[in-house]
């Protein structure tokens, strides 16, 4: 059994997309990095839809070829039914030559983690981080429990920088007491499960049997429901179905009652019931996540960075989660590499990094829920990011926002940034990809 070293340059907490990508960036730069992951991979994880933007980040870490070789389901876009209005996005109409993907996260995350190890990162599974002592600013000490043997071992590792990629466990945010649940009119929860033999929505907006998956490119299907929304994502051997709902919807329900509610809704909801008519629910697959939207008021410091979901989590309606993880990993490791070369400037590098991370988080929040100016969001940062986007990508985001009827504040930000005038008729964008009904 490989021993965890007593010291290194950078300790990464968590082996999901944020942690593994950060480890790869650092290892490729010749930096001594140790990644500590609390469970053994592959492990179950929700979040199966990727938009084409992610390829630029996997190209940076040189893992794109391995992802392509895996043969994940390639998707052509998305279809939404929101307040009975049907919209469709085709990625090919917005300049994308590479597809989005429907992925099994257990396999996808395992590919990323193994790639990090092949690039020279020191990877340790079944190592649970308990906390970090920052009293020595030059050498933080990470305390952990080694669970690889029957007798657990308590130990520690010294480093120069800590990267928290612990996801919703928010290791450092909990330690700093900086985690804040999004204040909104409603708190939400997510519940999701898996089905076998489900039909799927194709790029032609028709309902197709699972046998046609190799012939017809699928889309991610999203529909408003019960004050929230639902997703239907076809994978290679199963289909993911999930609800994002106001927490009050299931107040007082135990696990069994929630499952009854979930399965009954799947059978009764329009469109979804048609897709699931030939399907069988996979027993024991239902999972829950309460109060899923949050942020941290303390994301970066001179010797630590909280990336991916450890810094914030936004409504996943636009599949920004993994992209946010990749983005955070890229900019945080850039700051760390610069800090290792010029330690006297590390505070400045961390401040610049936090500004960029908060910018991306605020943008995702404004796009997903239309809120800005509170919950840790800085409108000026969001508007600056909007100004930096290519016109075609901005047009895609305008359409995406309009598809869910959550776009008022997003459009207001665009107008304040002087960007709406770049489009001759912004109302025409709202009607792009709009159809009277689905073809099933």
Task: Write down the H helix ranges in 216-271.
Answer: 255-268
Phi/psi at 310 (5° precision): -70, -20
Position of tokens 């329009």?
270
Helix, strand or coil, per DSSP, at residue 204:
coil
Short-list 221, 287, 299, CA closest to 46: 287
Local confidence pLDDT in tens for the 440 residues of the chain: 899 999 999 999 999 999 999 999 999 999 999 999 999 999 888 889 999 999 999 999 999 999 999 999 999 999 999 888 898 999 998 888 999 999 999 999 999 999 999 999 999 999 999 999 999 999 999 999 999 998 899 999 999 999 999 998 999 999 999 998 876 565 788 999 999 999 999 999 999 999 999 999 999 999 999 888 999 999 999 999 999 998 889 888 999 999 999 999 999 999 999 999 999 999 999 998 876 678 898 999 999 999 999 998 877 777 778 989 999 999 999 999 999 999 999 999 999 999 999 888 888 877 776 665 566 667 788 888 888 888 777 778 777 777 776 667 777 777 888 877 766 555 555 556 677 678 77
Q: Which residues pair with 17 in a beta bridge?
A: none
Contact (Cβ atoms closer than 8 angstroms) between residue 112 and residue 120: no
Short-list 256, 242, 245, 243, CA closest to 284: 256
How many Å apart are CA 334 and CA 152, to the nearest integer? 35
Q: Which domains does the chain have, with CATH numbers?
A: 10-48+104-181+294-355 (3.50.50.60), 188-290 (3.30.9.100), 376-435 (no CATH)
Q: How far is CA 359 from the centre of its chain?
A: 16
């Amino acid at each position: 059994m490989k021993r965890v070293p007593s010291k290194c340059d950078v300790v990464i907490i968590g082996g999901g997309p944020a942690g593994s990508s950060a480890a790869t960036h650092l290892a490729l730069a010749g930096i001594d990095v140790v990644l500590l992951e609390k469970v053994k991979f592959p492990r179950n994880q929700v979040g199966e839809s990727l938009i084409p933007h992610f390829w630029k980040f996997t190209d940076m870490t040189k893992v794109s070829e391995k992802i392509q070789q895996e043969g994940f389901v390639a998707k052509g876009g998305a279809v939404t039914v929101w307040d009975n209005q049907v919209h469709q996005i085709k990625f090919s109409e917005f300049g994308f030559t590479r597809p989005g993907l429907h992925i099994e996260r257990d396999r996808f995350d395992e590919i990323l983690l193994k790639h990090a190890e092949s690039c020279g990162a020191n990877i340790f599974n079944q190592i649970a981080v308990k906390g970090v002592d920052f009293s020595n600013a030059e050498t933080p000490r990470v305390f952990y429990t080694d669970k690889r043997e029957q007798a657990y071992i308590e130990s520690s590792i010294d480093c120069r920088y800590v990267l928290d990629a612990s996801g919703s466990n928010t290791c450092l945010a909990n330690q700093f007491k900086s985690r804040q649940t999004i204040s909104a009119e409603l708190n939400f929860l997510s519940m999701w499960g898996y089905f076998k033999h489900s039909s799927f929505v194709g790029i032609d907006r028709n309902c197709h049997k699972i046998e046609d998956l190799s012939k017809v490119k699928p889309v991610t299907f999203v529909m408003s429901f019960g004050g929230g929304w639902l997703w239907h994502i076809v994978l290679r051997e199963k289909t993911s179905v999930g609800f994002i709902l106001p927490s009050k919807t299931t107040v007082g329900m135990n696990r069994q009652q929630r499952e009854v509610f979930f399965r009954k809704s799947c059978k009764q909801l329009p469109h979804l019931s048609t897709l699931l008519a030939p399907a069988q629910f996979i027993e024991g697959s239902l999972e829950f996540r309460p109060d899923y939207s949050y942020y941290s008021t303390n994301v970066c410091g001179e010797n630590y960075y909280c990336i991916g979901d450890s810094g914030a989590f936004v409504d996943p309606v636009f599949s920004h989660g993994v992209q946010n993880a990749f983005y955070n990993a890229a900019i945080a490791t850039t700051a760390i590499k610069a800090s290792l070369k010029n330690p006297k400037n590390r505070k400045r590098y961390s401040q610049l990094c936090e500004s960029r991370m908060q910018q991306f988080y605020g943008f995702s929040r404004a796009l997903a829920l239309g809120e800005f100016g509170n919950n840790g969001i800085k409108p000026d940062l969001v508007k600056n990011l909007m100004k930096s986007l290519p016109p075609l990508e901005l047009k895609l985001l305008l359409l995406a926002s309009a598809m869910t009827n959550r776009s008022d504040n997003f459009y207001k930000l665009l107008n304040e940034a002087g960007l709406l005038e770049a489009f001759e008729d912004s109302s025409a964008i709202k009607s792009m990809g709009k159809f009277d009904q689905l073809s099933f």
